[in-house]
Amino acid sequence: MLYVVTGPPAAGKSSWIEARARATDIVIDLDRITQALMGPGAPAWSQHPVAMKVAHRARYAAIDEAVKHIDEVDVYLIHTMPSPKWLARYRRHGAEVVAVDPGKDIVMQRIKDMRAPGLQAVATRWYEQQAKKPAGRTAGRQASRAW
């Protein structure tokens, strides 16, 4: 099964996955990929432009390969704000789309406490995008606000 986990930065998407995924499942997380590509001593939430470019390319390759194996293992994919094009692609693979959102106040405080300040703009964009969705139309299942 393919699980596409959406939500603003610092919402708890990784924690949601860690509570469900098995050791044999595939987890595609841009933050983890970026960290793996950075040199020793790099901050955990690095947004270095070159590293991010390389990490995005690695993520696309990982997605392309992982969807070939969704009959064998579960694949958990973090995609903060998938476009309609990406959502359609994921749905062609039978994805379950899960939104993790503990609420804007919690997210903004977590970003302030633990993340790069630039992620506040990403979170603001995520909440603005959610506000534009017609009532009753969500990307998929809404995860518990406890994350």
Could you give the CA distance from residue 94 to residue 51 in angstroms, rounded to a whole number? 31
In this predicted structure, the answer to whether residue 114 has a pLDDT above a threshold of 70 is yes
Mean of pLDDT values over 29-52: 83
Predicted confidence band of residue 144 (pLDDT cuts 50, 70, 90): very low
Angstrom distance (rounded) from CA 87 to CA 32: 22
- pLDDT, the chain, mean: 89
Is it the case that residue 24 has pLDDT exceeding 90? yes
The domain segmentation of the chain, as residue ranges, is 2-142
pLDDT class for 135, splitting at 50, 70, 90? low
4 within 8 A of 97, measured Cβ to Cβ: yes
pLDDT score, position 54: 94
Measured in whole angstroms, the distance separating CA 17 from the mean position of its chain's CA atoms is 10
Q: What is the mean pLDDT of residues 79-91?
A: 95
Query: Phi and psi of 29, rounded to 5°?
Result: -130, 115
Residues 80/122, Cβ–Cβ less than 8 Å:
yes
Global pTM value: 0.86
Which one has a higher pLDDT value, 140 or 66?
66
Q: How far, in Å, CA of 107 to CA of 120, rounded?
A: 9
Q: What is the mean pLDDT of residues 13-18?
A: 96
Residue listed under structure tokens 């596409």 = 4
Query: What is the topology classification, in CATH, of domain 2-142?
Result: Rossmann fold (3.40.50)
Between CA 133 and CA 137 the distance in angstroms is 6
Per-residue pLDDT reduced to its tens digit, 43-81? 766 677 888 899 999 999 999 999 999 999 999 999 999
